[in-house]
Amino acid sequence: MSLPSRDALALDLLAWYRSVRRDLPWRRSRDPYRVWISEVMLQQTTVVAVVPYYRRFLRAFPTAKALASARLEDVLAAWSGLGYYRRARHLHQAARLVVARHRGRFPRTLDAALALPGVGRYTAGAILSIAYSLPLPVVDGNVARVLSRLLLIRKPRSAAGQRRLWNAAAALVTAAPAAPGDLNQALMELGATVCAPKHPACGACPVAHRCAARAADLEEEIPPPPRRRRPVEVRSAVAVVSRGGRFLLVRRRDPSLMQGLWELPAAGPGDSGDGLRLDLGRPVATVRHAITYRRLLISIHPARLLSEPRKGTYRWVARGDLHRVPTSSIVRKVLAAIPQPPV
Ligand code: SF4
């Protein structure tokens, strides 16, 4: 990219972003903590899904200090349903480090930011450019798509393609020294709202006249679609044991992505996989749930306890109190599928 075209592109992007940007709650403040929370939540999750979580999370943990002093269980409960729970665990650990090393303020340097759990090159660049106006680039999926089309980078996922993308993003952000955060957000916003993966709305694009893929009539071909893992169907069964309007939940102990969350007991004959002795009823419903490439098919069995569970690893929870307990969205889905608690 030549310097004049880089500067002109940056100017067009900034002007467009300032006139059309969506009014999102995290854009009302440049407080680094708020920017940090939003950037972590937005990884792998849509804006629409994030907004209510972002508001609730900040009410519960308004500062890094409040987050650092919270119990992990409460942080996971506030994250319940958002998925990718490792993000919440990292956020909690990182908040403790921010308090211990940086007096509760997100660090101002790239090295210090990258030393925090869960903060990679993208997240660090986004937070530092938006909150502290550092001219650091960001390349996420949206930005990669926009830049690979603008510059006709045919293999953006290759090592060479990645280098070109980061170099181009760095060149652009340098061309907007007064507002690097806005420039980065302009690229993200363009990818999220106009330069869509399929059928980009080039007619509404502020930089269509500078787009090499459009000029070559290749905007639908670049970037090539990612190779997706074939979906795998996974069948399982859960037991719904109720008592006085409350449901029995078991803490997940295996070192999986959902470790530490509370879930419904597995339904097995006699001794369930969770060490409970259950009298299982016939399945009353089936729910579907997708986690990355896995398509879960979960059958729901009403059940009766044949012996009391051991204290500590199980708990009884009323439907209305589920938001206080770290659970995956599967628990809510299953309970929503059974209108009356089975007896
Ligand atoms: Fe994307 Fe089309 Fe704009 Fe090129 S012209 S950046 S393909 S929306």
The 10s digit of each residue's pLDDT in 289-339 is: 998 889 999 999 999 988 887 777 789 999 889 888 999 889 999 999 986
Question: Which of 180 and 319 is assigned the larger pLDDT?
Answer: 180
- Whole-structure pTM value: 0.87
251 DSSP β-pair partners:
262
The DSSP output letter for 27 is: G
> What gap in Å lies between CA 65 and CA 73, rounded to an integer?
16
Q: Where are the domains of the chain?
A: 3-215, 232-336
> What gap in Å lies between CA 172 and CA 177, rounded to an integer?
10
Whether residue 125 contacts residue 136, with contact meaning beta carbons closer than 8 Å, is answered with: yes
Q: Tens of pLDDT along 73-101?
A: 999 999 998 988 999 999 999 999 999 99
What is the DSSP annotation of 68-82? Answer: HHS-HHHHHHHHTTS
> What gap in Å lies between CA 137 and CA 122, rounded to an integer?
8
| Nearest protein Cα to ligand 1, atom 7 | 219
> What gap in Å lies between CA 96 and CA 90, rounded to an integer?
10
Query: Tell me, what's the pLDDT at 299?
Result: 94
| Nearest protein Cα to ligand 1, atom 4 | 211
> What gap in Å lies between CA 289 and CA 295, rounded to an integer?
6
The label of the residue with tokens 């916003």 reads 189
Mutate to test the pocket of ligand 1, among 13, 207, 209 (most ligand atoms within 8 A of CB): 207
Residue 194 CA: which ligand 1 atom is closest?
A: 8
Handedness of CA 76, 79, 82, 85 (dihedral sign): negative
Q: Whose CA is closest to 195, among 156, 248, 142, 244?
A: 142
Which fold is adopted by the domain 3-215? Endonuclease III; domain 1 (1.10.340)
pLDDT-above-70 percentage for the chain: 94
Mutate to test the pocket of ligand 1, among 153, 188, 211 (most ligand atoms within 8 A of CB): 211
The alpha carbon of 141 and the centre of ligand 1 are apart by a number of angstroms equal to: 15
The alpha carbon of 14 and the centre of ligand 1 are apart by a number of angstroms equal to: 16
> What gap in Å lies between CA 123 and CA 115, rounded to an integer?
12
pLDDT at residue 173 above 50?
yes
> What gap in Å lies between CA 191 and CA 170, rounded to an integer?
17
What are the pocket residues of ligand 1 if the criterion is a CB atom closer than 6 Å to any ligand atom? 146, 149-150, 194-195, 200, 202, 205, 207-208, 211, 213-214, 219
The alpha carbon of 206 and the centre of ligand 1 are apart by a number of angstroms equal to: 8
> What gap in Å lies between CA 307 and CA 315, rounded to an integer?
14
Please work out, in degrees rounded to the nearest 5, the angle formed at the alpha carbon of residue 195 by the alpha carbons of 209 and 292: 160
Name the CA dihedral angle for 292, 140, 18, 25, rounded to a multiple of 10 degrees. Answer: 40
Q: Which residues are catalytic?
A: 39
The alpha carbon of 262 and the centre of ligand 1 are apart by a number of angstroms equal to: 45
The alpha carbon of 265 and the centre of ligand 1 are apart by a number of angstroms equal to: 49
Which fold is adopted by the domain 232-336? Nucleoside Triphosphate Pyrophosphohydrolase (3.90.79)
Mutate to test the pocket of ligand 1, among 143, 172, 202, 217 (most ligand atoms within 8 A of CB): 202
Query: Tell me, what's the pLDDT at 276?
Result: 81
> What gap in Å lies between CA 202 and CA 29, rounded to an integer?
31
Q: Considering only 30-34, 227-231, 258-262, 328-332, which range has the smallest mean pLDDT?
A: 258-262
